[in-house]
Amino acid sequence: MTVRRWTRTSKLFTGGTGVVALLLAIVPLVFGPDIVQKTTTLLILILLAAMWNALAGYGGLLSVGQQAFIGLGAYGTVFFAGLDIPPYLAMVLALVVAGSLSIPISLFALRLRAAQFAIGMWVIAEVASIAVRLDQNLGAGTGISLSQLYQYDPNYRQAYTFWLALAFTVVFLAAIFFLLRSPLGASLQAIRDDEDAARSLGVRVAARKRLLFVLAGFGCAAAGVLIVANTLFIEPGSVFSVQWSAYMIFMVLVGGLGTFEGPILGAILLFAIQTTFTQGGPWYLVGLGATAALFALVLPRGLWGTIEERLGLRLLPVGYQVVEKKK
């Protein structure tokens, strides 16, 4: 028996994901702006799910306030674009600035225990929302649009936004992938399984958690940037809404908390549900909430986690496999 990182399945699959990424890149060249916009939405969901999973699944940090960074990323974009900075540059700038706010916030947020952390982050999102609402230049309570993007032809605009979304998603997923494969990765797993035991072994729990928190901050800010680029109009009530947290929780719980592939599966599921039930409305949300609660209580490993466990399957090489050596 040997311990291996790469099995044949995982080699195939990793190669496969590379191919998928390349295929996605040509989507805007093949399909019209409607489909491109929808696919951008899917990418945003994948990004959000991956980030929330990084926090809760690998760091044990349950945040009900990541919408703070989403909103700050979105409004940051509008703000910088308003300073006559070219829109796509403004987006990158907003990502950097909004994401960096996670660093000072982490200094005290990470000292909080479970419920205080969760709701504390929510209050921070509310504070950000109120701050924006008080600013007339940012459209106050009624919202504002990223008018600077109107200068582009809709086809080009949608394509640029899509590629930016693809780039962000790939970068952040890759960041998590390499994080898990690094020596850091094993310690992250240990922290999730038993924090005190990990600490007693010398694992620098606080530093690891900060890394995840900052990563998630940047990732959610990126999602916020993409949201305003994709929908062009934002208002505090929607972009700072705790609804985003509800979506993230659903995607990760149903997909598989603490797995790499799970959040992606959850995002695809949510996207499928959203496009089928375009009416939206209360019944659909009742279903989401009830499903999330049910998974938390009955199937905590989520769909992917359960599949992984039952079939012993690992598609991407983020763990170690004990393999029987064939004679």
Which residues are at the interface with another protein (CB under 8 A)? 56, 60, 62, 64, 107-108, 111-116, 118-120, 122-124, 126-127, 130-131, 133-134, 242, 245-246, 249, 253, 282-283, 285-286, 288-294, 296-297, 300
Query: What token pair was written down for 225?
Result: 């940037």
Nearer to another protein, 305 or 317 (CB): 305
Q: How far is the CB of 60 from another protein (least distance, A)?
A: 7
3-state secondary structure of 144: strand
Nearer to another protein, 54 or 149 (CB): 54
CB 226 within 8 A of CB 106: no
Q: How far is the CB of 139 from another protein (least distance, A)?
A: 15
Nearer to another protein, 140 or 268 (CB): 140
- Name residue 144's amino acid: I
CA separation for the pair 41, 23 (Å, rounded): 17
Q: How far is the CB of 90 from another protein (least distance, A)?
A: 27
CA separation for the pair 301, 252 (Å, rounded): 10
Q: Please provide the DSSP assignment of 60-116 as one string.
A: ----S-THHHHHHHHHHHHHHHHTT--HHHHHHHHHHHHHHTHHHHHHHHTTS-HHH
Q: How far is the CB of 163 from another protein (least distance, A)?
A: 34
Residue carrying structure tokens 């699944």: 57
Q: How far is the CB of 183 from another protein (least distance, A)?
A: 25
Nearer to another protein, 44 or 128 (CB): 128
Nearer to another protein, 232 or 246 (CB): 246
Query: What token pair was written down for 257?
Result: 């908390």
Please choose, from the candidates 102, 99, 103, 108, the residue with its C-alpha nearest in 3D space to the C-alpha of residue 74: 99
Residue carrying structure tokens 């205080």: 116
